[in-house]
């Protein structure tokens, strides 16, 4: 696991060492163990390394036999041993035992399509000195990030946005299309960042760049829910078990100890149970919960930990422990509306005190239809047929009610049809609310962009079952923009590698071919997955009601955090930005105090304001506390159970 960065000069002008060093310095948390650089004519590659495989000789950049091809990798290639054996039989000579060295030799054989043979999570940059071509690649599901920008006749790239912002040619100005997406869907778009001109390489994509042709992006893989799987239900259950075993086995390859996140849900519990059976020894597991029992899954996590005899560690997150908010904003890189980033940051910090690698159960809800919203959509599709004749009446009734009136949003919701109705349920601030939230100039610039355009295209694609369309949309957007972004940034903040065995692309392709009736059966979500893990997990874990990873911010924002939120959102600093109408922000705060649950809306505003303070108001450079993750003070969360650990750095707001 690493952080990578680099610069390609289209006109061949030199890349300077201090530029690469500045980019690497702000990525030190991603790779606290080592660093590496290459400077050539018009090209510079850099990396920070977290040593996981081949601790002694696995440094980067890696090179082919004659040094004409170099690469830097962020991530892991899990099938590297198989690839290495094939390449050695073909005459390739290796200098190390690392997974990253396979990339340069595989490229010699297959060119840019070398990615087709890789199983793993990766973002890598490869320089072909003979062709003077730069290749950037990102894994199929978007587990590892990669940003890039073109400015001043150069192409810049890095694992995190803040590294690109170290280069003076990049102007720190807002992308209003990305801003619109943040306040609609809580995160930035697939291909854009919050900074105008800085883009993301999308999952399953390659970028090639040469001096004569500039940069060109192409897609090499995408999820499709089309082809029906062959075999009986029993056969598919057995195949799922075998594929889960194989993927977990691959993800356990490491030269350092591997632990696991354990939420108490089916997916993380299945991963832990499979790890315990395969790996042997006493596995370390890590959980976080809340004093508010309706939000906490600690009891379920403890039950699974007891079942598999793990060395279990947990934290209880309380509202007094949020003095890391500015640090979190710095690590998240962009405004981020999912408040579960808060506990994920803390449980990552806990795990990093014990291990360098953990496995997680992320991806199971998307692949096997585990979200309650899929059940809601099944019910609403039936109700929508009944509402069809009176949609106009419902729309008029909603429009007649004043803003903030109870029932207004529900009437409006049922007045919509098809994809618009489904997307409305996922919308943070509806268009009418955004019109009131933003001042006219910002509103005018945002109105030029439809934040749901790409989503409608997926949902309205002909020929696919409605459930498959929802799953495909979540795999293409929500999974990597929210879930995987959150996990990558909050774990790498503490030099912790998180691996996601449910997102091995061969397992994903198997799941995408499953008939919808084996995923959602009546009121049972994740039907086939539950059958596959019956016997491995306690029945009480399989049959318990799903509980999302939610934070009790609603109560906290009315109580212990009320003053903090008000001070941030109504400060003179926030007012001077001229983006939001302070009177409407006051209205939101008042409505929340009066009992409306606007916690996510308020948290998104808080996240945006913190981002502005960290990235727009001053240069995004890591303070000394962030560069030395072993210095600091005791943790913000209260240890309970088996958890006893020293503190990590935290920067207050």
Residues 157 and 244 in one domain: no
For residue 570, what are the contacts with CB-CB under 8 A and spacing of at least 6? 582, 585, 586, 589
Q: Which of 2, 114, 190, 612 is catalytic?
A: 2
- Same domain for 215 and 190: yes
Give 317's strand partners.
Answer: 290
Sign of CA dihedral 407, 412, 418, 419: negative
Please say whether the beta carbons of 409 and 430 come within 8 A.
Answer: yes
Residue 563, number of CB atoms within 10 A of its CB: 9
What total number of domains does the chain contain?
A: 4
Mean pLDDT of 522-533: 96
* pLDDT (tens digit per residue) in 331-380: 999 999 999 999 999 999 999 999 999 999 999 999 999 999 999 999 99
Q: How far is CA 492 from the centre of its chain?
A: 12
**Quick one: average pLDDT of 269-287?**
94
Give the range of the structural domain holding residue 428, as residue numbers without chain letter.
Answer: 392-460
* Rounded-to-integer distance, Cα 528 and Cα 441, Å: 51
The answer to whether residues 475 and 434 belong to one domain is: no
Lowest mean pLDDT among 2-6, 53-57, 277-281: 53-57
The label of the residue with tokens 């003070």 reads 633
Task: Over range 46-60, report the average pLDDT.
Answer: 83
> Is 404 a domain residue?
yes
- Do 173 and 44 reside in the same domain of the chain? yes
Co-location of 55 and 183 in the same domain = yes
Are residues 476 and 611 in contact, defined by beta-carbon separation less than 8 angstroms?
A: no
Q: Residue 648: which pLDDT band, with cuts at 50, 70 and 90?
A: very low
Residue 237 is assigned to a structural domain of this protein: yes
Residue 402 belongs to some domain of the structure:
yes
CB 518 within 8 A of CB 527: yes
Euclidean distance between CA atoms 316 and 255, whole angstroms? 31
Same-domain status, 241 and 213: no
Q: What are the backbone dihedrals phi and psi of residue 351, each rounded to the nearest 5 degrees, phi first?
A: -65, -35
**Residue 285 resides in a domain:** yes
Separation CA 165–CA 170 (nearest Å):
6
Question: Does the pLDDT at position 650 exceed 50?
Answer: no
How does DSSP classify residue 147? E
Residues 495, 528, single domain; the answer is yes
Q: Which of 435, 460, 485 is the last residue of a domain?
A: 460
Cis before 61? omega within 30: yes
pLDDT at 632 > cutoff 50: no
Residue 650 within a domain: no
CA distance 209 to 8: 8
User: pTM for this structure?
Assistant: 0.92
Under 8 Å between Cβ of 39 and 20: yes
Token pair of 187 as six digits: 């995160």
* Contact call for residues 45 and 25 (beta carbons, < 8 A): no
51 and 90 both lie in a single domain: yes
- Distances, alpha carbon 145 to alpha carbons 208, 215, 262, in Å: 17, 18, 24
Which residues pair with residue 70 across a beta bridge?
A: 63, 127
Non-local CB neighbours of 524 within 8 Å, separated by 6+ positions:
530
Task: Say if 506 falls within a structural domain.
Answer: yes
Check residue 15 and report its DSSP letter.
Answer: P
Tell me if residue 3 falls in helix, strand or coil: strand
Across the range 235-263, mean pLDDT stands at 95
Domain boundary among 443, 460, 477: 460
Average pLDDT, the chain: 90
Burial class of residue 420 (count of CB atoms within 10 Å of its CB; 0-12, 13-18, 19+)? middle
Mean pLDDT over residues 29-33, rounded? 92
In a shared domain, residues 153 and 255: no
pLDDT, one tens digit per residue, over 163-186 is 999 999 999 999 999 999 999 999
| Spatial separation of the C-alpha atoms in residues 608 and 624, rounded to whole Å | 24
Average pLDDT over residues 302-317: 96
* 355 and 484 both lie in a single domain: yes
Q: How far apart are CA 357 and CA 254, in angstroms?
A: 8
For 124-145, how does the pLDDT look when each residue is reduced to its tens digit (9 = 90+)? Answer: 999 999 999 999 999 999 999 9
> What is the reported pLDDT for 224?
82
Q: What is the CATH number of the domain that holds 534?
A: 3.40.50.620
Percent of the chain with pLDDT over 90: 76
Are 305 and 195 part of one and the same domain?
no
Residue in 553, 34, 629 with CA at minimum distance from that of residue 318: 553
The CA-to-CA distance between both ends of the chain, in Å, stands at: 30
pLDDT at residue 124 in the model: 98
- DSSP H helical ranges for 369-526: 372-387, 391-400, 408-414, 418-425, 431-437, 440-446, 453-459, 466-473, 484-492, 505-512
User: Is residue 645 included in any domain, yes or no?
Assistant: no
Give residue 637's pLDDT. 37
- List the alpha helices (DSSP H) in 50-120: 80-89, 101-110
Let me know if residue 375 belongs to a domain.
no
What's the pLDDT score for residue 634?
32
Phi and psi at residue 357, in whole multiples of 5°? -135, 135
Q: Output the six-digit token pair for 122.
A: 């990766």
50: left (phi over 0), alpha (psi -120 to 50) or beta: beta
Residues 260/272, Cβ–Cβ less than 8 Å: yes
**pLDDT tens track for 412-448:** 888 888 899 999 999 999 988 999 999 999 999 998 8
| Region 583-588 average pLDDT | 97
Q: Hey, what are 649's tokens?
A: 């750095």
The last residue of a domain, from among 495, 518, 543: 543
Asked if 287 and 211 sit in the same domain, the reply is no
By three-state DSSP, how is residue 174 classified? strand
- Whether 102 is catalytic is no
Sheet holding 2-9, edge to edge: 34-40, 43-49, 2-9, 154-158, 147-151, 198-200
Q: What pLDDT score was predicted for residue 621?
A: 60
């Amino acid at each position: 696991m690493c952080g990578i960065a680099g610069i390609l000069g289209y006109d061949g002008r030199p890349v300077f060492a201090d530029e690469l060093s500045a980019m690497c310095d702000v990525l030190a948390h991603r790779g606290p163990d080592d660093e590496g650089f290459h400077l050539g004519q018009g090209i510079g590659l850099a990396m920070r390394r977290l040593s996981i495989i081949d601790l002694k000789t696995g440094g980067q950049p890696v090179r082919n036999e004659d040094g004409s091809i170099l690469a830097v990798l962020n991530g892991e290639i899990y099938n590297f041993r198989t690839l290495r054996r094939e390449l050695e039989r073909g005459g390739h000579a290796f200098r190390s035992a690392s997974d990253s060295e396979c990339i340069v030799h595989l490229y010699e054989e297959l060119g840019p399509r070398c990615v087709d043979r890789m199983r793993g999570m990766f973002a890598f940059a490869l320089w072909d000195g003979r062709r003077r071509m730069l290749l950037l690649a990102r894994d199929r599901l978007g587990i590892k990030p990669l940003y890039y920008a073109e400015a001043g006749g150069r192409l810049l790239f890095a694992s995190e946005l803040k590294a690109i912002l170290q280069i003076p040619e990049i102007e720190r100005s807002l992308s209003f299309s990305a801003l619109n997406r943040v306040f609609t869907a809580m995160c930035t778009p697939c291909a854009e960042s919050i900074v105008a001109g800085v883009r993301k390489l999308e999952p399953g994509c390659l970028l090639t760049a040469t001096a004569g042709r500039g940069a060109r992006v192409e897609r090499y893989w995408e999820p499709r829910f089309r082809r029906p799987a062959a075999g009986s239900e029993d056969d598919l259950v057995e195949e799922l078990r075998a594929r889960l075993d194989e993927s977990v086995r691959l993800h356990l390859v490491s030269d350092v100890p591997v632990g696991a996140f354990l939420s108490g849900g089916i997916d993380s519990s299945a991963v832990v149970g499979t790890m315990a059976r395969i790996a042997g020894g006493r596995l370390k597991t890590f959980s976080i919960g809340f004093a508010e029992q309706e939000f906490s899954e600690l009891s379920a996590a403890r039950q699974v930990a007891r079942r598999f005899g793990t060395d279990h560690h947990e934290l209880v997150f309380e509202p007094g422990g949020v003095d890391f908010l500015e640090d979190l904003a710095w690590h998240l890189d962009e405004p981020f509306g999912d408040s579960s980033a808060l506990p994920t940051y803390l449980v990552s910090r806990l795990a990093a005190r014990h291990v360098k690698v953990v496995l997680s159960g992320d991806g199971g809800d998307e692949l096997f239809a585990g979200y309650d919203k899929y059940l809601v959509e099944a019910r609403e599709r039936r109700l929508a047929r009944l509402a069809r004749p009176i949609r106009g009446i419902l729309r008029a009734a909603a429009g007649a009610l004043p803003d903030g009136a109870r029932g207004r949003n529900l009437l409006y919701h049922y007045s919509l049809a098809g994809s618009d109705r489904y997307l409305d349920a996922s919308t943070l601030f509806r268009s009418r609310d955004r019109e009131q939230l933003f001042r006219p100039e910002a509103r005018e610039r945002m109105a030029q962009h439809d934040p749901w355009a790409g989503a409608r295209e997926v949902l309205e694609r002909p020929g696919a079952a409605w459930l498959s369309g929802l799953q495909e949309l979540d795999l293409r957007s929500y999974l990597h923009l929210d879930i995987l972004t959150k996990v990558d940034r909050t774990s790498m903040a503490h030099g912790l590698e998180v691996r996601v065995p449910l997102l091995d692309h061969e397992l994903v392709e198997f799941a995408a071919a499953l008939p919808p009736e084996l995923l959602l059966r009546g009121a049972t979500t994740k039907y086939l997955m539950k059958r596959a893990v019956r016997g491995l997990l306690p029945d009480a874990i399989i049959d318990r009601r799903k509980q999302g990873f939610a934070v009790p911010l609603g109560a906290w924002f009315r109580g212990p955090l009320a003053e903090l939120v008000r001070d941030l959102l109504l400060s003179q600093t926030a007012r001077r930005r001229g983006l939001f109408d302070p009177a409407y922000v006051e209205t939101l705060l008042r409505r929340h105090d009066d009992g409306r649950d606007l916690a996510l809306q308020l948290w998104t505003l808080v996240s945006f304001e913190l981002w502005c303070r960290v990235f727009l108001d001053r240069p995004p450079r890591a303070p000394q506390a962030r560069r030395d993750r072993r210095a600091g003070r005791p943790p913000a969360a209260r240890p309970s159970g088996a958890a006893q650990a020293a503190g990590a750095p935290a920067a207050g707001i």
